[in-house]
Amino acid sequence: MLRAFVLDIDGVLVRGSAPVPGAAEVVRELRRRGRVLYLTNNSTLTREAHATRLASLGIPAEAEQVLSSGFSAARYLSERGMDRVHVVGERGLIEELRGHGIEVSAEGGCDAVVVGLDRSFTYARLAEALVHLQAGAELVATNRDSTLVTEHGRVPGAGAIVAAVEAASGKKAVLAGKPSMLMGRLVLEKLGCAPEDALLIGDSISTDIAMGRALGMQTVLVQADRRGDAGGAEHVITSLRQLLELL
């Protein structure tokens, strides 16, 4: 019996600034049936801001239900006593780190360089990150998504920036977001049930479905064309509303 539902935000529930048709209806029914969690590799917003964004679109959500790549990165650093970092990223990531007692500074030494989506990324920022990495800082990536989905199509994602930093430094980043087990551990902590009693709904084979399968959860892939590769997902649906029919 399914007791928990884990939904990817961007691509499954939301595309850019618009909700996916039927998202609010589906989430309300899932909440009636069990626990609901939201996953996102988007580090530009805090968990609170993600929940507010969903609620503004009619999708009921609280901050404690949201697990983001920024939150996962902050947990990783905090648990390892890394309390001073340099950030290539935006305000949401900085706020998540500070919420865990981590100092974000552009000057002096640091324990790690944390890279997320940064829509103001420049050559100068790449060079600044490289200085810290050459001095021994660890490299942490919120995610490796090379592109992200908007209402206008795909645009460059954090993974493109991570790739540039890795290429310049020669260092391999520790991955905090999906499909890493750093994020997976947070999911298991929040489920409130055995993984086999949970259903993960995502639109990416390489992040959502891969992580759900690694955790032992049941998986549903949302994709426009059923003829595509299912990536090992137990079920494939072409619209979110079909999830209720599947259940």
- 197 catalytic per annotation: no
Angle CA 200–220–191, to nearest 5: 15
8 assigned to active site? yes
R_g of the chain, CA atoms, integer Å: 18
Closest among 211, 218, 179 to 195, alpha carbons compared: 218
| Among the listed residues 181, 232, 168, the one whose alpha carbon sits nearest the alpha carbon of residue 205 | 232
Alpha-carbon distance of 35 to 16, in angstroms, equals 25
Q: Which residues of 183-216 are buried (b: 16+ CB within 10 A; e: fewer)?
A: bbebbbeebeeebebbbbbbbbbebbbbbbbebe
Annotated active-site residue in 10, 111, 203, 208: 10
Q: What angle do CA 149, 152, 155 make, to 5 degrees?
A: 50
User: Residue written as tokens 């998504």?
Assistant: 145
Find the catalytic residue in 8, 111, 145, 203.
8
Q: Which residues are catalytic?
A: 8, 10
